[in-house]
Structure 1
Amino acid sequence: MSDAASELPSELDREAVQTALIEWYEDDHRDFPWRRTDDPYEILVSEVMSQQTQLGRVVEAWDAFLDEWPTPEALAAADRSAIVGFWTSHRLGYNNRAKYLHEAAGQVVEDHGGEFPRTPDELSELMGVGPYTANAVASFAFNNGDAVVDTNVKRVLHRAFAVPDDDDAFEAAASELMPDGESRVWNNAIMELGGVACEKTPACDESGCPWRQFCHAYETGDFTAPDVPTQPSFEGSRRQFRGRVVRVLGEYDELRLDELGPRVRVDYGGDHGREWLRGLVDDLASDGLVTVRGTGDGDSGDDCDSNEGRDDSAGDVLVSLSK
């Protein structure tokens, strides 16, 4: 990319910037276990777990998950209910991630003979693997990725080099900065910089930030950064109660709605009674995480995925984790 088209300052010594960051990272960085492996399955598990989950909690869960399902073959052969139950008990966020990870393992085994795809485009074909995760796996497992652009990287680029708050500009600047063939170390390093030195409240001197001599924000004292989307509150959210449903069902083979309800929330009833709970379990059924089964007068007893044509008062509605 020419300087005329560049999103970076024209006078910037890119080689010096690259060398400074890589040396800083290699000298001292946080020692997460997934940084000590190039196994694509282990890296995929870490990336999926790390989505909106504190990394300290991920370490313990990652080790336990790989002890239970050490290969994609083992995960693909497992019951989904066991995987979802693990996900819920370790508070790893949306249970759909467990479902998609299970399906992605099946794709690797059935469609790729147990061998992971190696490029971001190929990895993006796996269930639940978006562009960011695909690029991370390609980078950290195969050193074959593009420059990563996440919230931390955007903040670093905006502050250090006054890159405009625009996704295309961030993509261009990140790609221009990354040394050819160095996606593994570079993407780890620049995310580490954003995670320990250039957080919302910067710690430039305390962390020994290697870009202080190049940094626009450090020079001017203006540490504004791109807006960061606010994560909706988990406490009292629909997401929280979905997780509780899955966790409770992991302890029982099957429960009636009115047996499940009080175990999900202590104030079950009224506005948060049977209709509310039925909507919750139907959402989970649509995601393939639970099975809803109706029995009683006028009902065939077959599995069903919607409310259409069914009167819950005609008989019991039974809910269980999908196998």
Structure 2
Amino acid sequence: MSEAEAADCLPEDVDAVRNALVTWYEDDHRDFPWRNTDDAYEILVSEVMSQQTQLERVREAFNEFLNKWPTVHDLAAASRGDVVAFWTGHSLGYNNRARYLHEAAEQVVADYDGRFPESPAELQELMGVGPYTANAVASFAFNNGNAVVDTNVKRVLYRAFSVPDDDAAFEDAAGFLMPDGESRVWNNAIMELGGVACEKVPSCDEAGCPWREHCDAYESGDFTAPDVPTQPSFEGSRRQKRGRVVAALSEYDELSLSQLGPKVRVDYGGDTGAEWLRGLLADLEDDGLVAVEERGGETVARLRD
């Protein structure tokens, strides 16, 4: 989709659309602590924590994390095992995210003298920081990002302006719609719209959606939207078991397989016995989170420093 085609999807009075959304957001929005800072370190922490994690759970973890490691220098100097243990203890998803966040902090201190790079391209040089996270940090810390296009934003654009279900079309339409030099407020506003008014089941009137008079779906009553991938259940998953390994090793320093196994699953043994646990530890070892060694005829595991 070209810029001209993106413009064709939008109402003629684009400025009215923009102003309505920003005014709605600034008048009343959810108050998260990461929305009250332009500190790149704090915003990176919030973005990594928010990946596939409910925001209310992130709020508590975010504050505790910053109390423990208030600056990028503090995090860089921390033990990686402590960071991973914190991540696991707060059910923040894949432990690799904690590892990458710690490595990114080390990079910022070692390569940038503790000052974050400011452009999306430079931010992507940091460990574990992909295009979306780099753009979010650039937007919210430095106000120089591009239009954010996540699942919520796609749903809003698809419903409101009938933007085709195509990644390039969403990118073009979102980029055209965002006011120049306003990535901080705009990206917060449009994601808020998708999060509280234009959810899977919309609440247009209840949330006072500012785009009702412009919205194709509101006019037609057809609120279908692109399919939203469902996340696999955490309960009983391999990811859950990996987290239990890390939690146990953070508490006991090191454990043999026979000691560790029952702490990971109550039905330890048989098909989910020593060989199964060795495979789980091998994955964590490949990720750089766990060290495994043979000692006195036993396999012993511990968290890496």
Shared fold (TM-score, shorter chain, > 0.5): yes
Q: Which residue of 1 aligns with 2:83?
A: 83
Displacement of 1:295: 1.9
Q: Which residue of 1 aligns with 2:223?
A: 223
Q: Which residue of 1 aligns with 2:303?
A: 321
Shift of 1:253: 1.5
Change (3 A) 1:247 1:159: same
Take 1:251 and 1:108, find their aligned partners in 2: how far apart are those partners?
Answer: 30
CA shift, 1:200, in A, is 0.2
- 2:287 counterpart residue number: 287
Pair 1:171 & 2:153 matched: no
CA contact (8 A) 2:3 2:176 kept: no
CA distance in 2, matches of 1:8, 1:81: 52
Measured against aligned partners, the alpha-carbon deviations of 1:151-197 in whole angstroms (never above 9, x if no partner) come to: 00000000000000000000000000000000000000000000000
> 1: distance between equivalents of 2:189 and 2:227?
22
Deviation of 1:4 after TM superposition, in Å, equals 3.9
2:34 is the alignment partner of 1:34:
yes
Q: 1:249 corresponds to which residue?
A: 249
Bigger Rg over Cα:
1
Asked if the contact 1:20–1:210 (Cα under 8 Å) also holds between the matched residues in 2, the reply is: yes
Verify the 8 A CA contact 1:7 1:163 in the aligned structure 2.
no
Shift of 1:8: 4.1
The alignment partner of 2:43 has SS state of helix
The answer to whether the 8 Å contact 2:3/2:173 transfers is: no
1:291, 1:319 within 8 Å by CA — same for their partners in 2?
Answer: yes
| Aligned residues of 2:2 and 2:172 also touching (Cα < 8 A) | no
Partner of 1:47: 47
Partner of 2:107: 107
Query: Deviation of residue 12 (structure 1)?
Result: 2.7
Per-residue Cα deviation, 1:111-149 (whole angstroms, up to 9, x for no partner):
001000001000011000111100000000000100000
Letter of the 1:316 counterpart: E
Aligned residue runs from structure 1 range 42-191, under 5 A: 42-191=42-191
State the 4+ residue runs in structure 1 displaced beyond 6 angstroms.
none
Matches within 5 A, 1:271-282: 271-282=271-282
Q: Distance in 1 between matches of 2:82 and 2:10?
A: 55
| In structure 2, C-alpha distance between the alignment counterparts of 1:62 and 1:8, rounded to whole Å | 41
Could you tell me which amino acid in structure 2 is paired with residue 26 of structure 1? Answer: E
Give the number of the structure whose residues are more often helix, by fraction: 2
Contact kept in structure 2, 1:3 and 1:10, CA below 8 Å: no
Is the contact between residue 3 and residue 172 of structure 2 (CA under 8 Å) also seen in structure 1?
A: no
Residues of 2 paired with 1:140 and 1:66: CA distance?
18
AA matched with 2:16: A
Q: Structure 1 regions of 5+ residues with no counterpart?
A: 297-314
**Distance apart, 1:5 and its partner CA:** 2.8
Q: Secondary structure of the equivalent of 1:271?
A: coil
Q: Are the counterparts in 1 of residues 81 and 304 from structure 2 also a CA contact under 8 Å? A: yes
CA RMSD of aligned residues (A): 1.2
Q: Which amino acid aligns with 1:318?
A: V
1:303 corresponding residue in structure 2: none
Gaps of 5+ in 2: none
SS at match of 2:31: coil
Distance 2:92 2:141 in 1: 23
TM-score (norm 1): 0.93
Secondary structure in 1 matching 2:214: coil
What is the letter of the counterpart of residue 23 of structure 1? T
For the 8 Å contact 1:8–1:173, the answer to whether it is kept is no
8 Å contact 1:21–1:210 — kept in the other structure? yes
Cα distance in 2 between the residues matched to 1:291 and 1:192: 42
Aligned length: 305
Report the secondary structure of 2:212's partner residue: coil
Identity of matched residues, %: 73
Q: Which residue of 2 aligns with 1:25?
A: 25
Secondary structure of the 1:6 match is helix
Tell me, what secondary structure is at the counterpart of 1:255?
strand
